[in-house]
Amino acid sequence: MDIIEIIEHKRDGLVLSDEEIHYFIKNYVSGEVKDYQASALLMAIYLKGMNDHETAVLTEEMRKSGDVFDLSDIPGLIVDKHSTGGVGDKVSLILGPMVASCGARLAKMSGRGLGHTGGTLDKLESIPGMRVILSEAEFKKQVTDIGMAIIGQNERLDPADKKLYALRDVTGTVGSIPLIASSIMSKKLASGADCILLDVKYGSGAFMKTLEDAEKLAFTMVNIGKRLGKNVKAEVTDMDQPLGMAIGNNLEIKEVIDVLNNRGSEDLKNLCLDSGAVMLVQAKLYDDIDLARKELEKNLLNGRAFKKFVEFVAAQGGDTSYILDPSKFEVAKNIIPLYSAKDGYVSRIDALKIGVSSMHLGGGREKLDDVIDMSAGIILNKKVSDAVKKGELIATLYTNKENTKEIEEVVVSAFEISDQKVTKNRENLLIQ
């Protein structure tokens, strides 16, 4: 067996054997298979596809290519959650304390933001003192003791994905559903959780632009979970407008605090309640999603979810005085209000434009080594279906940069105003 033969098989549309996939991953990680050969196979997969069995085998081989976390000594079923990325997506920071307040244990490894999507770790690091790197022993102890931990990804986890992802990015093969699914699922499965909830987003601010493609990806990942014996469910959710009202790191932490105190954006709160209920059922803490949702709602009202967030921040070294008094967070020196040019109803908010604008204000990274301004970002003052008057405030920009006229124009153009009120976005789809 050699890599050229494997490339030719997939080029000709044949199904790769388990042994061929094992050979490719093992020898690519070791360096025996070269980047130019891996590029040829990735393009063949992009063009010819993979069936469910091939995709599951690829995922498992990638999972086994590095460290695999063993969380079996933590009591109960461990839950994890993954989002395919979006604008204003701070769900994990709300969902973790909510489900932990109901007795679940969430063990999550997260990444940093790049381009128009924000990273959970960057948001956490806007809290002074917050540590996102823990040893495996610290990670397990924290999940056991307080019910949740969110940390940076272990560098030794899934080296096959690191190499393949970098190669896909420069060879035009990012958009293959088998390659996307195996990338996401191999990391999640290596992280050691018993139950995984996936949030697959679609729309202007998401990687998957259409509902059809998002559903395909969700079904593919759930099927991988089933084939590999894991409890995996997926929600397909809308990202045609930003999630919540805040985009930007400490601005989003303030919104997390609001939602955990039962205030803030209804779309964000409802998504967290829906997702949390599914996770509690996955963890076998409740038999019924409606009952689980009611318990989550109760813990927002009685303060237990917020108390759990404070406990989580303290456990990872964060200064909880900022959580108890969000006015302590740094505020950007330039606060720029933006107004509607006409009467009507907000029919759409282009999430991609908003995300890119927040990045240009300083709230994100264009390149991996860019330094983020934790105070920069955008607060939305209107959402889809809201009525708006000419001259009414629609968004507020926060930045320490000067000369932001072009960014201001892009943000205003992201708001589409129509004469007729539009209905809000469709309900989330649960795939299980």
Can you give the residue ranges of every domain in the chain? Answer: 3-63, 78-324, 331-418
- The average pLDDT across 100-115 equals 87
pLDDT band at 370 (very low <50, low <70, confident <90, very high): confident
Is there a contact between 142 and 105 (Cβ–Cβ < 8 Å)? Answer: no
At 92 the pLDDT is 95
28: closest CA among 52, 47, 49, 6? 6
Fold of the domain spanning 3-63: 1.20.970
254: closest CA among 333, 336, 332, 322? 322
CA 68 to chain centre: 21
> Does residue 106 surpass a pLDDT of 70?
yes
* Active-site residue set: 82, 161, 168, 183, 187
Q: What is the CA radius of gyration of the chain?
A: 22
Is there a contact between 121 and 236 (Cβ–Cβ < 8 Å)? Answer: no
Pairing relation of β-strands 415-418 and 344-349? Answer: antiparallel
At 1 the pLDDT is 87
At 128 the pLDDT is 98
CA-to-CA distance for 332 and 344, rounded, in angstroms? 31
> Does residue 115 surpass a pLDDT of 70?
no
pTM, two decimals, is 0.93
**Using one digit for the tens of pLDDT, what is the confidence trace for 8-54?**
999 999 999 999 999 999 999 999 999 999 999 999 999 999 999 99
Question: Which residue type occupies 398?
Answer: Y
The sign of the torsion formed by the CA atoms of 95, 101, 107, 113 equals positive
At 114 the pLDDT is 61
pLDDT band at 424 (very low <50, low <70, confident <90, very high): low
183-187: which pairs have CB atoms within 8 A and are 24 or more residues apart? 183/62, 184/82, 184/84, 184/221, 185/59, 185/63, 185/221, 185/224, 185/225, 185/232, 186/59, 186/60, 186/62, 186/63, 186/65, 186/158, 186/160, 186/161, 187/109, 187/153, 187/157, 187/158, 187/161
| Distance separating the N- and C-terminal Cα atoms of the chain | 38
pLDDT band at 426 (very low <50, low <70, confident <90, very high): low
Instruction: Name the phi and psi angles at 349, rounded to 5.
Output: -125, 110
CA-to-CA distance for 167 and 174, rounded, in angstroms? 9
Count how many Cα atoms sit within 13 Å of the Cα of residue 29 in the half-sphere of its side chain: 18
> Does residue 125 surpass a pLDDT of 60?
yes
Pick the CATH number of 331-418 from 3.40.190.10, 3.40.710.10, 3.30.1330.40, 3.90.1170.30: 3.90.1170.30
Burial-class residue 4 by CB neighbours within 10 Å (0-12, 13-18, 19+). exposed
Count how many Cα atoms sit within 13 Å of the Cα of residue 366 in the half-sphere of its side chain: 7
At 47 the pLDDT is 97
- The average pLDDT across 64-85 equals 93
At 111 the pLDDT is 80
43: closest CA among 70, 69, 7, 78? 7
At 113 the pLDDT is 65
CA-to-CA distance for 235 and 279, rounded, in angstroms? 11
CATH class of the 78-324 domain in this structure: alpha beta
**Using one digit for the tens of pLDDT, what is the confidence trace for 355-368?**
999 999 999 887 77
